[in-house]
Chain A
Amino acid sequence: MTRRWLPVAVAAAALAAVPWLGSETLVQYGINAILLATLAQGWNIIGGFTGYPSFGNSVFYGLGTYGTAIAMAQYHLPFGVGLAVGAVLGAACAVVFGLPILRLRGPYFAIATLGLSAVMSAIIANVEIAGKNIGLILPLFRGDLLFYELSLGLLVLATATVAWVSRSRFGAGLVAIRENEDAAQVMGIDTTRWKVMALTLSAVFSALAGGIHAYWITFIDPASAFDSTLNVKMVIMTVFGGPGTVLGPVVGAFLLSAISEVLASNVSTVAGAFYGLVIVLAVVFIPRGLMDVSSGFRRMGWRYFADNVRRHRL
């Protein structure tokens, strides 16, 4: 146990030291990458462990940004209170909409959550206190160091939570739901309750990430807060790294952020195409994510990739 987590702790410490060693640009890039990793880790709970492909996490993210922004810009409350307001909004939304939507399975669930994201952005764009479709400006605070360390702290918390989930009775129930919900039910799992809890936990991390991002970027509007491509990123990063694993989403998020950054600065015009190619290749050759590669490769060598292609073809 201790030995297994030692490399992770070292990596986290190294990341924490980045602002003192790296450049300003690196820190800003780091904040983005870390928040994306946090979002992916949050998505992992509902998408990776429970098997419900949520497109509602960008809604929770958006509510997190707006909760924080409204508290700070309209009521002049401190940042910590803003974060809490955002998290509560996100969690409440997960419970209220999760109860009906989590009855749907597979693609139907995905479509319903996608609808939720469209609805929520339209609602916010008409709410006076949320600045309608113009948006809100938060008090300016220059402190990339603080935002960086705060984001990293949140990522560590999210990862620790997922590590707990993966070993707990709760997590066993979620995985059973993913693997076969009918069987899970008759074996005594209160599937509705566990699913709502998973979505809520997922929502809290999305909302907190949104809150930090809002204060860092100091300006939010409905289009950027409820951006469903952000949700697509969470899915891709988690699936690339290894859905339902503890470290997969983090590794996936960091790697893909790095790849897209390198591509954007070197081959800017065709960066999107390369990025797409990486994802297509990953889905074809390592459909269970990077975390599965080492054990799979040890087991069957190069045949592992061929086996994946054969096994997962349509």
Chain B
Amino acid sequence: MFEVRDLTKRFRGLTALSSISFELREGEILGLIGPNGAGKTTLVSLISGTLVPSGGEIHFQGRRIDKLPPHRRAHLGIGRTFQVMKPFPALSVLDNVAIGALFGAAGGERNRARARERAREWLEFTGLGRYVDQRADALGGPDRKRLELAKALALHPRLLLLDEVMAGLHPVEVDEVVALIQKIRSQGMTILVIEHVMRAIRNLSDRLLVLHHGQQIAEGSPRQVLEDPRVVEAYLGKRRV
């Protein structure tokens, strides 16, 4: 349902991503891992359209999308979260999420009252039900992560890009979010997830893709990939014998 071919991104002299190619199958969870600065967030930004690729192609449901502006990709059903969270600070938690319902996939729900109803459902789903009337900037860290997730879900994506939604959460919260993502997948969404919490990513992902210095260094099942010497080296450095 989704394919990236030879995707490259250069920032002036720096090649942030070079020739990345992979596919996503319907309903799959692909984990995207790699050390800091590997280009993971850049990849998500290229897919969601907030960055323009220097080369390569992106295909989504049989259609080339790498030339489309971000809002058109959202209408087609690509939703993302931001690692550096981007709530609408002065709006209520409910209105934050309602924006997704109003404008998201296929143009969204045009009626504001109905969009709020849908938003309320997503807030219940993500465990934010008690905060509907609070301002978004009054939420604490973990709840902001959930809000980021609820906003992306409300636009009814078919492909969900999650950029470190578990960073900074304690283990119990991580388990909650893992369960939440599994619940999301069971609704038929395809998910690309960036994560540093290894335990979580191993449990969640059907497959892993490893980036290092903008290169794709490994791809495969979690067990296979995490034992790959190149991956171990990227994370821990060369083994000294």
Contacts and interface: CB of A to CB of B under 8 A. Distances in A.
Interface of A: 167-169, 172-173, 175-176, 179-180, 182-191
Interface string B216-227: 000000000000
Given A175-B88, A180-B88, A186 B80 contact: yes
Given A183-B151, A186-B70, A190-B69, A168 B112 contact: yes
B53 interface: no
B234 to A, nearest CB: 29
9 contacts: A172-B95, A176-B88, A176-B99, A183-B82, A183-B87, A183-B88, A186-B74, A187-B79, A189-B71
B71 A191 contact: yes
B49 interface: yes
Contacts of A173: 99, 102-103
Given A183-B82, A183-B86, A172 B99 contact: yes
Given A182-B50, A188-B75, A175 B151 contact: no
Give the residue among B88, B108, B152 with the most A Cβ atoms within 10 A: B88
Interface string B38-80: 0000000000111000000000000000000111011100011
Contacts of A182: 50, 82, 86
A169 B112 contact: yes
Nearest to B103: A188
A167 B152 CA distance: 23
Given A175-B91, A180-B87, A188 B112 contact: no
B34 interface: no
B139 to A, nearest CB: 14
Contacts of B75: 188
B110 interface: yes
Closest 8 CB pairs of A and B: A179-B88, A188-B74, A188-B103, A183-B86, A185-B70, A188-B104, A190-B71, A180-B86
Contacts of A188: 71, 74-75, 100, 103-105, 107-108, 155
Interface string B80-117: 10100011111100010011101111011011100000
Contacts of B80: 186
Contacts of B91: 175-176, 179
